[in-house]
């Protein structure tokens, strides 16, 4: 029996095992009940967009909330959403006119007060916002009228509109003050195309179409009546539930499974390269251990030479995945791929560097990961071949993030989707400009990135990003590995279109 037949048999058995448990879910799903059920492996610990940075949180945020500006995914044009117009009053002051007649899902009227509250709240330490890079450019927001605000910047930030169109939704000020962050996480309210009806820890989130969604929204009106997000950690169970009809949409489907679906008339498969990058961060400062080998540049370079990027991209990720060498994605403004060294797969070179560093017999270490165990194991296999005997610590993202930020992880396999923003600041500056995810804290890199992030001259921005990316690569602070591809598998009755920014827009989806 070949591998594909074995896999199919395994999925069939799994389908039979879960069929009884999913019968009630199956009754809820699909076109007949106007309910799109989608499943993923990761649970958002706090549904608030500002308090999680998992991709599932980003997806839900774009269903529940609106942003001031909308970026058309087909043209990349910025269009009015909750703001109807904007202009730069100065390099550090952006004035926006706001849309009138919009209501939050609890009936509260949207106004300047909500914009002022949201941004002035999330920039404070008390807010505990998790990705400071997204908001740290904002100094404060002033109310200029009931439907007019001024965003004051700490310094010039030319990527402001890109961020306003991305991970910066507007919250209802009065409601949030009443229920607090904990209450808001349990019963979030927005102006978006879908309204949350329940948040159940460990299980998922249910949403219903917002019948009062404002008609002039550039993203159009939602078409499907109900959406249910389910947390299903086991990939075989997700697959089985898609096959039984209990689930309508899954993603991050392994390439082998995606290939097998193509002959099934009940399932549609889409794939393509995304902006998400897989990489290994390296403890260059030696915070994880007093005698850490990774303080030696030659050892960090050995890690980069040891990993077969192309092999992982071609044989494991597939679907358009490409090897990466820079701490950014090539379509992002300022991402100069030519600035980085190309660490081609060269185990012999890696062993030579380790021997020169005093590790001719290799050494034992730890590597941490939270997703795609098979990718992490492939990386570990390559490291073992050159003598770096890495033990895998596989854990939930929140736990890993805590260990990583506390300097306890020698090697960490991570992925980053830049919140789908096409600006290098959304990647390289997150990990190398002194924030909580910057474990290297190189002062020269931080200086160049500060200039790149704030200059109003595009040429100056590009020059400084290039210098920072070159230094990161030369000093092997990170091992960028590959771009992700995403395989979507979904009910053939569903009309769905994926985008390279890895943001499934379920408000665009409809039944055939």
pLDDT in tens, 433-455: 999 999 999 999 999 999 999 99
* Residue 254 and residue 309 share a domain: no
The answer to the question of residue 427 being in a domain is yes
* Residue 314 and residue 217 share a domain: no
What is the per-residue DSSP string for 5-18? HHHHHHHHHHHHHH
* Residue 353 and residue 242 share a domain: no
The pLDDT, as a whole number, for residue 202 is 86
Question: Structural domain tally of the chain?
Answer: 2
The arithmetic mean of pLDDT across residues 94-103, rounded, is 98
- Residue-wise pLDDT for 158-180, tens only, equals 999 999 999 999 999 999 999 99
Q: What percent of the chain has pLDDT over 90?
A: 81
Q: Which domain holds residue 367?
A: 273-485
Q: Which of 287, 304, 313, 325 is nearest to 388 (CA)?
A: 304
The arithmetic mean of pLDDT across residues 283-294, rounded, is 96
The pLDDT, as a whole number, for residue 400 is 96
Q: Give CA–CA dist 108/100, Å, rounded.
A: 12
The answer to the question of residue 196 being in a domain is yes
Q: Give CA–CA dist 318/386, Å, rounded.
A: 25
Give this prediction's pTM.
0.75
Q: Give CA–CA dist 202/108, Å, rounded.
A: 30
Would you call 276 helix, strand, or coil by DSSP? strand
Give 67's pLDDT tier (boundaries 50, 70, 90): very high
* Residue 284 and residue 188 share a domain: no
The pLDDT, as a whole number, for residue 29 is 61
The arithmetic mean of pLDDT across residues 318-340, rounded, is 95
Lowest mean pLDDT among 131-135, 201-205, 298-302, 311-315: 131-135
The answer to the question of residue 152 being in a domain is yes
* Tokens 């991570």 -> residue: 414
The answer to the question of residue 480 being in a domain is yes
What average pLDDT does the structure give for the chain?
Answer: 92
Q: Give CA–CA dist 508/259, Å, rounded.
A: 26
- Residue-wise pLDDT for 7-45, tens only, equals 434 444 444 333 343 434 444 467 889 999 999 988 888
Backbone angles phi, psi at 271, to 5 degrees: -155, 165
* Residue 174 and residue 285 share a domain: no
Residue with the larger pLDDT of the pair 292 and 255: 292
Cβ neighbourhood burial of 383 (10 Å; 0-12, 13-18, 19+) = buried
The answer to the question of residue 9 being in a domain is no
* Residue 159 and residue 144 share a domain: yes
Q: Give CA–CA dist 390/411, Å, rounded.
A: 9
Would the pLDDT of 100 be above 60? Answer: yes
Q: Residue 173 sits in a domain of what CATH number?
A: 3.40.190.10
* Residue 498 and residue 393 share a domain: no
Q: Residue 464 sits in a domain of what CATH number?
A: 3.10.105.10
Backbone angles phi, psi at 31, to 5 degrees: -60, -40
* Residue 313 and residue 187 share a domain: no
């Amino acid at each position: 029996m070949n591998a594909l037949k074995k896999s199919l048999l395994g999925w069939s058995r799994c389908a039979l095992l879960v069929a009884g448990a999913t019968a009630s879910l199956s009754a809820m799903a699909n076109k007949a009940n106007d309910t799109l059920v989608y499943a993923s492996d990761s649970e958002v610990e706090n549904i608030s967009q500002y308090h999680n940075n998992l991709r599932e949180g980003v997806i839900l945020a774009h269903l529940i909330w609106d942003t001031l500006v909308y970026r058309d995914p087909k043209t990349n044009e910025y269009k009015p959403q909750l703001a109807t117009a904007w202009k730069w009053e100065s390099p550090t002051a952006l004035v926006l006119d706001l849309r009138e007649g919009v209501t939050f899902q609890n009936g509260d009227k949207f106004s300047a007060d909500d914009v002022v509250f949201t941004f002035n709240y999330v920039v404070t330490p008390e807010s505990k916002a998790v990705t400071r890079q997204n908001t740290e450019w904002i100094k404060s927001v002033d109310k200029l009228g009931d439907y007019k605000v001024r965003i004051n910047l700490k310094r010039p930030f030319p990527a402001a509109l890109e961020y306003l169109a991305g991970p910066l939704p507007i919250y209802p000020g009065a409601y949030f003050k009443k229920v607090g962050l904990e209450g808001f996480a349990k019963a979030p309210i927005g102006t978006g195309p879908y309204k949350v009806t329940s948040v159940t820890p460990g299980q998922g989130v249910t949403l219903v179409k917002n019948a009062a969604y404002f008609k002039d929204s550039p993203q159009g009106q939602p078409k499907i009546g109900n959406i249910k997000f389910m947390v299903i950690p086991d990939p075989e169970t997700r697959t089985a539930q898609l096959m039984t009809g209990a689930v309508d949409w899954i993603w991050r489907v392994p390439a082998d499974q995606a290939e097998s679906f193509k002959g099934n008339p009940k399932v549609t498969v889409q794939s393509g390269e995304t902006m998400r990058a897989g990489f290994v961060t390296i403890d260059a400062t030696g915070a994880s251990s007093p005698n850490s080998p990774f303080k030696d540049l030659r050892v960090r370079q050995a890690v980069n030479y040891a990993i077969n990027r192309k092999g992982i991209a071609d044989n494991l990720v597939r679907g358009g995945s490409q090897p990466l060498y820079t701490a950014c994605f090539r379509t992002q403004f300022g991402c100069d791929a030519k600035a980085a060294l190309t660490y081609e797969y060269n185990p012999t070179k890696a062993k030579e560097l380790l021997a020169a560093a005093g590790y001719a017999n290799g050494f034992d270490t730890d590597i941490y990961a939270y997703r795609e165990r098979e990718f992490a194991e492939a990386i570990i296999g390559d490291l073992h071949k050159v003598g770096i005997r890495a033990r895998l610590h596989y854990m939930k993202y929140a736990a890993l993030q805590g260990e990583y930020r506390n300097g306890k992880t020698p090697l960490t396999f991570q992925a980053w989707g830049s919140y789908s923003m096409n600006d290098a600041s959304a990647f390289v500056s997150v990990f190398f400009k002194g924030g909580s995810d910057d474990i290297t804290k190189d002062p020269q890199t931080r200086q160049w990135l500060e200039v790149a992030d704030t200059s109003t001259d595009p040429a100056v921005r590009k020059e400084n990003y290039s210098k920072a990316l070159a230094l990161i690569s030369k000093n092997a602070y990170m091992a960028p590995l590959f771009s992700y591809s995403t395989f979507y598998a979904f009910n053939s009755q569903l009309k769905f279109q994926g985008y390279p920014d890895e943001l499934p827009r379920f408000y665009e989806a409809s039944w055939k």
